[in-house]
Amino acid sequence: MTSTAPTVTSATTPYPYAAPFSEALFDRALEVTPGGVNSPVRAFRAVGGTPRFMASARGPWLVDVDGRRYVDLICSWGPMILGHAHPDVVAAVQDAATRGFSFGTPSENEVALAEEIVSRVAPVEQVRLVNSGTEATMTAIRLARGYTGRSVIVKFAGCYHGHVDSLLAAAGSGVATFGLPDSAGVPASSAAETIVLPYNDIGALEAAFAERGGEIAAVITEAAAGNMGVVPPGPGFTEALRRVTSAHGALLVSDEVMTGFRCSPSGYYGLEGPYAGGPPDLFTFGKVMGGGFPAAAFGGRAYVMAMLSPVGPVYQAGTLSGNPVATAAGLATLRGCTSEVYDRLDVVSRTIADAASSQLTAAGVPHVVQWAGSMFSVFFRDAPVRNYDDARAQSTQAFTAFFHSMLSQGVHLPPSAFEAWFVSAAHDDEAVDSVIRALPDAARAAAREFDTIAS
């Protein structure tokens, strides 16, 4: 494993450090793939520069094709909770792979993974395994529509639920704004079935239900928002969702694709639940439960899950669903998530967040750190963020300068101001110290770029 001493960048010469092998790969990728990437955020569009192509990863470290080593604060956007190439997960994957990649028949690991999920999240009585979080939310919505016989879905601005047509509507604030598609190719008819409300706004929720309650199949929410940066539900918000949906015969879908098995052994539900009015009807999971492989799930109360094919009339299927290698990785990862692992996540995230905050303060950079369990993010503004409008009123210029300074010093943050910073239990003192050493320069770079923001 080679690692080159990184060049510290200055604000006037933004990104002088070379990454010739990544640049060459990016050029090749741009020829054959739109934007050179297979998921948009990877393209560095928000921060500029060349995305780093990774060659390998172990524990808390990423190594790029130029041989430079980075402390990983993306962790594959959550799944790598045990760190990269954890020996137990590697062994489970190798063992599964030698016994065949995919059968197209049921296999034992699927049952074991479903049991593991059901035993952790009390309100989840049954699950169906799928390949991505997008599939999980897409099917949860279909199931809610099939169950209620209604079509309208309520979601919250700034919450991401995968690239499902009806859930890409995120624009619009104020009471009962009709969703406008955020993406070309989403039919207006699909977006029109979506009501987008401001997160953490109980009044807007009540108003929307007062007007259209009889048409609403479900409210879908991130258990704690993590896709606009970390914005936890305010006191009573989730209970209000439960109360209002129950009163109108709509289902509540809690999207725990990001928070599930990360915020606690039973996800954000484990931190916030049980709720006075009862649990959400459906949950969606992904990320951690796949251990870095394509595995996700949706599940919930048995009376709702009974609507699903082959038992009920709501169809859903998947050639690779419950894949034996993916389920082996997911099982080994969940079984590896011991209380020591969660304790370490707490320590690592608090240490990094506290150090970032004190360096930003020292450099005079307005910022706020927000939490959902051990999940956190840093907003470059001086007031708390309760919803998407708040999240957008931050200095993305300051973040960009901060990001590139960290990258040049060997710390790979998510390349966007609107993402959580992910750590793993493999982030040892060496990795944490590397982050802490990079922070003063990054904070000064942010201070130089801090622009005036509307707040």
Write out the catalytic residue numbers. 160, 255, 287
What residue spans of 176-279 are helical by DSSP H? 188-191, 202-212, 237-247, 267-272
Stretch of residues binding ligand PLP (CB under 6 A), selected from 191-199, 251-259, 334-342, 392-400: 251-259
Q: How far is CA 153 from CA 215, 218, 249, in A?
A: 9, 5, 13
Q: Is the peptide bond before 232 cis (omega within 30 degrees of 0)?
A: no
Closer Cβ to ligand PLP, 226 or 279, answer by number? 226
Separation of alpha carbons 289 and 271, rounded Å: 18
- Cβ nearer to ligand PLP, comparing 61 with 160: 160
Q: Which is nearer to ligand PLP, 123 or 162 (CB)?
A: 162
- Positions in 117-146 near ligand PLP (CB under 6 A): 132-134, 137
Looking at 36, 123, 286, 324, which residue binds ligand PLP (CB under 6 A)? 286
Number of residues that bind ligand PLP (CB under 6 A): 15
How many angstroms separate the CA atoms of 88 and 100, rounded?
A: 19
3-class DSSP state of 374 = coil
Q: Residue 232 Cβ, how far from ligand PLP at the closest point, in Å? A: 13
Shortest spacing between CB 33 and ligand PLP, in angstroms: 17
Query: In whole angstroms, what is the distance from residue 98 CA to residue 38 CA?
Result: 28
What tokens does 67 get?
A: 């041989």
What would the x/- binding string for ligand PLP be over residues 67 to 96, using CB under 6 A? ------------------------------
- Contacts with 32 (C-beta within 8 Å, 6 or more apart), sequence order: none
Residues in the chain: 455
Q: How far is CA 351 from the centre of its chain?
A: 21
Distance, CA of 261 to CA of 265 (rounded, Å): 5
Stretch that binds ligand PLP, among 84-92, 221-229, 304-312, 361-369 (CB under 6 A): 221-229
Q: Which is nearer to ligand PLP, 297 or 356 (CB)?
A: 297
Residue of minimal Cβ distance to ligand PLP: 133
386 to 415: interface string for ligand PLP, x by CB under 6 A: ------------------------------
H or E element at residue 441: helix 429-449
Structure-token pair, residue 378: 């840093």
Of 126, 139, 177, 227, which lies in the binding site for ligand PLP, with binding defined by CB under 6 A? 227
Bridge partners, 197 (sequence order): 156
Instruction: Report residue 163: phi and psi, to 5°.
Output: -95, 40
Residue closer to ligand PLP by CB (options 19, 289) is 289
Residue 160 or 199 with smaller CB distance to ligand PLP: 160
Within 138-197, the residues that bind ligand PLP by CB under 6 A are 160-162
Which chain residues interact with ligand PLP by CB under 6 A? 132-134, 137, 160-162, 222, 226-227, 255, 257-258, 286, 296
